[in-house]
Structure 1
Amino acid sequence: MYGIVSFFQMGGFFMFPILLVLAVGIAIAVERWIHLKRVKAENSRIWDEVHPVLVEGDFDKAREMVNEDKSALSQMLAMGLARQGAVRRREDIEIAMEESMMEIVPQLEKRTPYLALLSNIATLFGLLGTIMGLITAFAAVANASPAEKAALLAASISEAMNCTAFGLMTAIPLLLLHARLTTTTGQIVNSLEMVSVKALNTISTFTKRQY
């Protein structure tokens, strides 16, 4: 613990902005991860309940089920089933679901891009801290005696490099978290698209049987 505190203190003023960036990034990552896992679980649950009802052709019951649920998948199916009750064309139902997807996807991606931005900011703060530390170091060396210059310069450069190191130690995990959340979001979007196609095929198949 002492070593960590000493490392932080030696990094200078810019260690504090980097620490703030790290805290904000972790907060965003945790909130997004919890949200996406909840969305994934809710979508899986409602689809397991609605799919058998769609296969049976009981669209009124399916419409009632998705209207009572607040999951992302229910919102998409609700738009399609609402159009199904008014029209028979597959294209109209598909357009309604695509319109709903355009509203859902931005909510899934919300705040995730900030992690990549914060990663870059942490790196830049680290470099800025190092440059400012080196400027201070060379200014101090200029006024030091020849015997002290080497030792003073080495100590100052070591302190300045701590800031760059901390910036990279912050940036790399944030980039990894960004990649993981982006992958999870993509999986959810793909599952929604798959459900959309399955629901459309089921509705079309049952509609053809009626004629």
Structure 2
Amino acid sequence: MFEIVSSGGVVMIFLLILMALAMMIVGERFWSLRDKEIIPGQLPEQVIEWSRKKNLDHKHIDQLAENSPLGYLMAAALRKRDDPREEIIESVEDAGRHISHQLEKPLNWLSAIGEVSPLLGLLGTVIGMMKVFANIMEFGVGNANQLAGGISQALTTTAAGLIVAIPAVLFYRHFKNKIADQTIVMEQQVMQLIDAISKK
């Protein structure tokens, strides 16, 4: 394994760093995007019950906003509960854009890794081929050992770039779809709350 890594040269070090970073982001997103963290199961019923009992002081609403992304959206609705329905919805939409940005922010790094890794692999390929041609000019084509190092670097970095990029792109798409699904559920549950506080 060490021989494979060392044959990739300096470019391989950067690819390994990107691989480690991608793995950390994927692990963190799997943990942070769990449904129970984003959309706590009993929260909508509890909040609607609070609204019916008029148990909605600033302390409750602030705690709700810190509870989860869904809680943050519900708190945005409750802070405007005495305003017209259109203004409540507008406030929730603004909060929703903030939440979406927060949920997707780490994914920008994952997307960048998916884009940059193949380019680094290509850079390693170019450097490897430059070594091959330099050796050909110096030693001719008769000595295969002089050419093997450059060819090995070219092939190794190309493969490594793809090995890093393909999972990064797949996980990026997976998390984007998961966030989109969770956003739809949050929208539905916040609309139920808006209906409840608009009818009081």
User: Which range, TM-score by smaller chain?
Assistant: 0.7 to 0.9
Written as runs of structure 1 = structure 2, the 5 A alignment for 1:120-199 is 120-148=115-143, 150=144, 152-153=146-147, 156-199=150-193
Match of 1:107 in 2: 102
Aligned partners of 1:66 and 1:183: how far apart in 2?
29
- Paired amino acid for 1:10: S
- Paired amino acid for 2:151: I
Match of 1:14 in 2: 11
Match of 2:40 in 1: 43
Q: Give the stretch that moved more between structures: 173-182 or 61-70.
A: 61-70
- Paired amino acid for 1:107: Q
Aligned partners of 2:38 and 2:190: how far apart in 1?
17
Shift of 1:103: 2.1
- Paired amino acid for 1:91: E
Note the residue ranges of structure 2 that are not aligned, 5 or more in a row. Answer: none
| Distance 1:143-1:51 versus aligned 2 partners, 3 A rule | same
8 Å contact from structure 2 (residues 128, 152) kept in 1: no
- Paired amino acid for 1:9: S
Q: Give the stretch that moved more between structures: 187-196 or 66-75.
A: 66-75
Is 1:61 the equivalent of 2:58? no
Is 1:28 the equivalent of 2:25? yes
Note the residue ranges of structure 1 that are not aligned, 5 or more in a row. Answer: none
Between the two proteins, what is the percent identity of the paired residues?
A: 25
- Paired amino acid for 2:169: L
Aligned partners of 2:133 and 2:140: how far apart in 1?
13
Match of 1:200 in 2: 194
| Distance 1:82-1:159 versus aligned 2 partners, 3 A rule | closer
Aligned partners of 2:173 and 2:78: how far apart in 1?
34
Aligned partners of 1:198 and 1:78: how far apart in 2?
13
Q: CA RMSD in A?
A: 2.3
TM-score of the two chains, using structure 1 as the length reference: 0.82
Is 1:118 the equivalent of 2:113? yes
- Paired amino acid for 1:13: V
Match of 2:78 in 1: 81
- Paired amino acid for 1:28: I
Number of aligned pairs?
197
